[in-house]
Amino acid sequence: MNAAAQRILTINGGSSSIKFAVFDPTDLSRRELHGSIERIGLPGTLFVAKGPLPDDNFFRSIEVADHSAAAAALTDFITDRLGQGNLAAIGHRVVHGGPTYSAPQRIDAEMIAKLGALSAFDPEHLPEELRLIEAFHKRFPDVPQLACFDTAFHHDLPRVAQLLPIPRRYEGLGVRRYGFHGLSYTFLMEKLSELAGPKAARRRIVLAHLGNGASLAAVHDGKSVDTSMSFTPTAGVPMGTRSGDLDPGLAGYLAHLENMSSEQFSEMANSHSGLLGISETSSDMRVLLDNEAHDGRAAEAVALFCYEVKKRIGAFAAALGGLDTLVFAGGIGENAPSVRARVCDGLGFLGIDLDAARNNRTAEVISSETGRVKVRVIHTDEERVIAQAVTHLLASAGEPKGS
């Protein structure tokens, strides 16, 4: 197959999932094939795919114990669908770039070693992402792989937003606010410029990426000014299973009360907290909204999530000196009108006023005509950002071959 017919594969690995998409590099406006493997390492692992052919569309259970086994199932599918020699490149979302990486780059042995050393920065994601990179290298050894870093959007945060109030010597070890969801925020800013014009995209903006992982970013003049996540993606607002911000004294208290180790504390904060911890039933906002009328724990989980997001919008409006645009994105932000309404309720003093009918039908603009702040819902697309970066890197490098 000639170069024009080759495809770009994007891989978005999470702590218990792998999302993938296949793009024609000559037309990145649509995905030719996409899907995911969900609940990796848990009962009921699902492989979902959607594409133009009947065999590309399925929703089936598979048995995989870890990301390596899931990657094997995915590479089998990709090889069967595209053939061994029809990939131009593979682009990976890498959650943490640490202090070293701030732009998309070709993956090589040096990067693998440095990312391995950074694994302690984000033990929930980086080790699994490295296993995915290795698995795809073994199956497609001659296909270049490229890394797109979720921290890159926030790399040049103002100094005051980067600093963490702990002894200064730790900054020399790379301890600072990094921020995440950068690929999503990159897409949202590009889309906002397209929808509202470049001038609007350079004003005072709060982006709310609300999903199983949730964060907010304050953006001015197109640059990140502050963001809710910090050194790791655990910080910020409550999420599906992550706690968000916690009093650091809690670690010592639980160590005394339950002899909880630091590893156990991390497991609790990342995998058993947030919506799941408060509700004691589910990390899925859809389930909690369905149950809140008859389950007080579910209602409290929803209320806490909306309250914390609302507080962060207020704080970021203060950091920006006002607010011109609020954007909702992510699985919750795009699909839960009642959550958007609750988050915005009481923010009239900032100029936020939702139009109930527009919000309920998830219109592109959900603010009222009289609201000073334009409130939008934008479907985010991290995979397209990865594909764009890969296409650019391939073009600038003369379409390198080999790995």
Residue 156 identity (one-letter amino acid): D
**Among residues 24, 142, 150, 290, which one is catalytic?**
150
In angstroms, the CA 370 to CA 85 distance is 56
In angstroms, the CA 328 to CA 185 distance is 11
Which of 12, 34, 31, 15 has the alpha carbon at shortest distance from 23? 31
Strands 205-210 and 145-149 turn out to be unpaired
Q: Which backbone phi and psi does 88 adopt, to 5 degrees?
A: -80, -35
Q: How many residues make up the chain in this entry?
A: 403
Which residues are within 8 A (CB) of 401 and not within 5 positions of it... i.e. 6 or more apart? 142, 144
Distances (CA, A) of 66 to 61, 71, 140: 14, 9, 20
Helix (H) / strand (E) element for 194: namely helix 182-196
Is 221 considered catalytic here? no
Strands 325-329 and 87-94 turn out to be unpaired
Compute, in degrees rounded to 10, the torsion defined by CA atoms 233, 235, 240, 243: 140
> In this structure, which long-range contacts are made by residues 59-63, counting pairs with CB atoms below 8 Å and at least 24 apart in sequence?
62/37
Which residues are within 8 A (CB) of 243 and not within 5 positions of it... i.e. 6 or more apart? 234, 268, 269, 270, 273, 274, 277
Please count the CA atoms within 13 angstroms of the CA of 193 that sit on its side-chain side. Answer: 11
Catalytic positions, please?
Answer: 150
